[in-house]
A and B are shown apart, each in its own frame.
Chain A
């Protein structure tokens, strides 16, 4: 059965690939076809390429691709001896193509000067691409067929259209069938018959591919007299625009959530130190920066295992920043208890020292932190919407960190102690809670989380001594907006500010959006000084 289908397809393909010279068609071997090649002019080469594609051989596809890549050479003395150039590193080698079907053999020692390249120009390359697509339609996997159809989209001529139309019923997969219909319909838009054009619009309405949109646009211009068609086509375009608008919205939302996740990571440590302990830590941004530099150092230490460096960097950054946090708390903040304004100034001094420290140790220039391969790339959902992987990972990571912290505060002993101290320090102390110890741990935890945020940020922005500075004000805004002492408030605050920022951006520009959000928060705090989710309490003031 399979052979039968292959045979039938082969026959069609002979037809598909068009005007083949009679003598070439007689020679069924690739070698025989290619022998003429060197002597032909470019226009003839173009036709010959189509002849090559008709030959059913395992080597057809690799040969066409090699031709496209300019890798095929022939011997100056004998134009039936073919070689393929192979590059291994800087070394260039040639392997002879053996047998009638030109299957590549082992590399041989041949002087490059004795060989001549089979030259192609852009027109021939175009024909080669079409030929490769045609062969892939015949022998390729489903993914290759889809890719082949994509290259044909909007580029069919009448003959290829007829041949494709015949190929269509052969396709078993629904996705390929769908794509076939699309490619054919785009061509039908150019048909002289009005009814045919109208029928073609059906499957095209709402398609997102830019070629489809362009084709409809062209058809509207070409058949401006045909009122019924123009109306239908405009409606189809409007439907497309509507869908594009929707996906743009989804994309903006995603960018907003991504920015929100960055805000969340940066602010959540602050929500702990500021919200729970009531300590203004102006050095919080520098804790983020330390985390980012830890990522950099970890990558320097394990250059061979870049893939896993981030997994090592997360706990390492947590420890480094957390340790600094504990030191700061024990060294300075514990002496300033109950004097928030002084704490603010002292921690600001610490932030200056840390910045200068990093500048002295690592130089004031930005450092490059590499992305592991599993973080790069994008998920392409459709032609207008693709989500970058690193942002998706960071979004998920921020939520994970958030849930871990909520668990820590609600379900563990440490969380219980922290909440007790934050609600009533004197009473907690009387009940035997070591408040000093709890303070140090809480501060260390908040700083450690900031360090983890630094690992994530190192994947999105430059790692430099000023990294923390650019996030500290936004982080404070998020915490104040969400409501102090409330992790849920920080979550809601971070995502709403991120989304608001990204939706304002197209209207006002990035900087202006930032300014507007800041002004909004300043005004919001005047209206609700306790933030979105105020802490319940019975304070008189």
Chain B
């Protein structure tokens, strides 16, 4: 019980950092947007649209990392398949955008996307019906990954598949989906995926205004997801989840329906991932089966590990840091990136299992402690 209490008090102690993260997030997004839209291009402070899109991409990844942190950091479920939910959400948005292309495709067919015309399909498959309506697409973006997570989680948690087994199963899930989406017969564009989008809700995707709006929406969604996750973790539900992470059998013996808590948390996490995917696709302009690759899902886990799991803000920081490093390194010295990433995996797990945020927090505490004791030492003689 003491450990639970300590955890809880620690969680409350993170309040300051959380607010700081939120403030920085909002400030940066507003600043970047204003600088992009209002300043002339030759200004020193001008933020290019490319940077805006890049930042938007990072924020989507941060949201995905948040989703992984919710279940890994707080419930000890290491999912190596969260890329699947992200990609499913992305495909949902991709289908909507594809339908918006209308007859402006290469083949000019009023209804069928280009790749279907190319494959000699005569009519739209049933699962593409209705995806031209934004509200319906949005519903599907959340419903399909949520349902998958629900079915998978219900099966896995009820039969108490835990630990490493669950990780391998989630990895197999995303791998199977990747193989499936690579097939042309699936009707999702096969190898090439969905791309060549034109506009969203009538706004041109290439326009600066649309880009900035998407970026701001992403930042807003991330902030909301962060606040919601935090309040969930601080609620009674969250405390039970922590108890399950630290002592699953004991929680079960005490009388909690462990599998239900895990299941709902898993579904919530999958929804976050799907939303991140849906925001990601209009900004990068493509979704293909490569997003399902097991490597992508494992990378997400590393972002969380780098930032520090079980803190929420650690996941966001980790995702931003690692992705920034990736962008820089793959540009400067592409061959070195995998060495770097691999070394990062090893270094973090061996030396900093609680991540950077915990390391910084520990140093900060040390500093505070040293300061207060030295102050105390000064006071004592008086």
Contact = CB atoms under 8 A, between A and B. Distances in A.
Interface string A314-339: 00000000000000000010011001
Given A342-B349, A515-B180, A349 B342 contact: yes
Contacts of A540: 249
A471 B345 CA distance: 21
A343 B345 CA distance: 10
A527 B345 CA distance: 33
Given A345-B302, A348-B298, A515-B179, A529 B161 contact: yes
Contacts of B175: 473, 518
A312 interface: no
A523 B346 CA distance: 32
Given A341-B78, A345-B345, A360-B335, A529 B350 contact: no
B301 interface: yes
Interface string B265-283: 0000000000000000000
B349 A345 contact: yes
B61 interface: no
Given A342-B349, A353-B338, A522-B169, A541 B182 contact: no
Interface in B161-210: 161, 163-165, 167-169, 171-173, 175-176, 179-180, 182-183
A332 B346 contact: yes
Contacts of A336: 349-350
Contacts of A527: 159
A292 interface: no
B179 A511 contact: yes
Per DSSP, chain A at the interface is helix
B159 A353 contact: no
Contact of B159 (A339, A350, A529): A529
Contacts of B160: 529, 541
A519 interface: yes
Nearest to A339: B353
Contacts of B182: 511
Nearest to B345: A349
B335 A359 contact: yes
B344 interface: yes
B338 A352 contact: yes
Contact of A335 (B176, B183, B350): B350
Contact of B164 (A335, A341, A518, A523): A341
A349 B78 contact: no
Interface string A345-377: 110111111011101100000000000000000
A152 interface: no
A265 interface: no
Contact of A526 (B155, B179, B249): B155
Contact of A346 (B78, B169, B173, B346): B346
B349 A280 contact: no
Nearest to A355: B338
A473 B172 CA distance: 7
Contacts of A340: 163-164
Interface string A462-494: 000000000001001100100000000000000
B156 A526 contact: yes
Contact of A515 (B156, B176, B353): B176
B294 interface: yes
A355 B335 CA distance: 11
Interface in B334-363: 335, 338-339, 341-346, 348-350, 353
Contacts of B183: 511-512
Given A512-B183, A526-B156, A480 B249 contact: no
Nearest to A527: B159
A353 B171 contact: no
B161 A350 contact: no
B349 A473 contact: no
Contacts of B165: 480, 525, 529
Contacts of A339: 353
Interface in A496-541: 511-512, 514-515, 518-519, 521-523, 525-527, 529, 540-541
Contacts of A514: 176, 179
A399 interface: no
A286 B182 CA distance: 24
A14 B349 CA distance: 88
Interface in B134-162: 152, 155-156, 158-161
Contact of B305 (A345, A356, A523): A345
A147 interface: no
Contact of B343 (A343, A349, A476, A518): A349
A529 B160 CA distance: 8
A341 B245 CA distance: 14
A273 to B, nearest CB: 12
Nearest to B176: A518
A526 B182 CA distance: 26
Contacts of B350: 332, 335-336, 346
Contacts of A356: 335, 338-339, 342
A426 B102 CA distance: 68
Nearest to B152: A522
A351 B172 contact: no
A306 interface: no
Nearest to A342: B349
A518 B84 CA distance: 15
A344 interface: yes
A336 B352 CA distance: 12
A59 B308 CA distance: 87
A131 B282 CA distance: 73
A529 B166 CA distance: 10
Contacts of B348: 345
B342 A525 contact: no
Contacts of B155: 523, 526
A355 B338 CA distance: 8
Nearest to A514: B179
Contact of A352 (B176, B342, B353): B342
Given A359-B335, A522-B172, 19 more contacts: A332-B346, A339-B353, A342-B353, A343-B349, A345-B298, A345-B305, A348-B298, A349-B302, A349-B346, A349-B349, A356-B338, A356-B342, A477-B168, A515-B179, A518-B172, A519-B176, A522-B169, A526-B161, A529-B165
9 contacts: A280-B164, A332-B350, A344-B167, A349-B341, A349-B346, A511-B183, A518-B175, A522-B169, A526-B159
Interface of B: 78, 152, 155-156, 158-161, 163-165, 167-169, 171-173, 175-176, 179-180, 182-183, 248-249, 294, 298, 301-302, 305, 335, 338-339, 341-346, 348-350, 353
